[in-house]
Chain A
Amino acid sequence: MTPAPRVKVQTEDFDLQKEIDDLTGANSNIGAVVSFCGLCRDEQGTLDALELEHYPGMAEAEMTRLAEEAIKRWSLDGVSIIHRHGKITPGDNIVLVLTASVHRQAAFEAASFLMDFMKSKAPFWKRELLKDGQIGSWVDAREADDDALERWQ
Chain B
Amino acid sequence: MVKLVYFAWVRERIGKSDEEIELPGDVRTVGDLLTHLKTRGEGYELALAVPRAIHVAIDQQHCQHSDPIGNASEIALFPPMTGG
Interfacial residues, chain A to chain B (CB-CB below 8 A)? 38, 52-55, 57-58, 61-62, 83, 94-95, 115, 118-127, 138-141
Contacts and interface: CB of A to CB of B under 8 A. Distances in A.
A120 B81 CA distance: 6
A123 B5 CA distance: 13
Contacts of A141: 79-82
A123 B84 contact: no
A125 B8 contact: yes
A39 B61 CA distance: 27
A120 to B, nearest CB: 6
Contacts, number: 71
A126 B82 CA distance: 6
What's the interface size class on B, roughly? Answer: 10 to 19
B79 A138 contact: yes
Instruction: Determine chain A's interface SS by DSSP, over half rule.
Output: mixed
Contact of B81 (A57, A95, A122, A127): A122
A62 B62 contact: yes
A123 B83 contact: yes
Candidate in B8, B57, B60, B84 with the most chain A CB atoms within 10 angstroms? B84
A124 B60 contact: no
Nearest to B55: A123
A94 B79 contact: no
A66 to B, nearest CB: 11
A53 B7 contact: yes
Given A55-B5, A125-B7, A138-B8, A61 B60 contact: yes
B84 A95 contact: yes
23 contacts: A54-B83, A55-B5, A55-B76, A58-B61, A58-B76, A61-B61, A83-B83, A83-B84, A118-B83, A120-B81, A123-B81, A123-B83, A124-B82, A124-B83, A124-B84, A125-B78, A126-B82, A126-B83, A138-B8, A139-B82, A140-B82, A141-B81, A141-B82
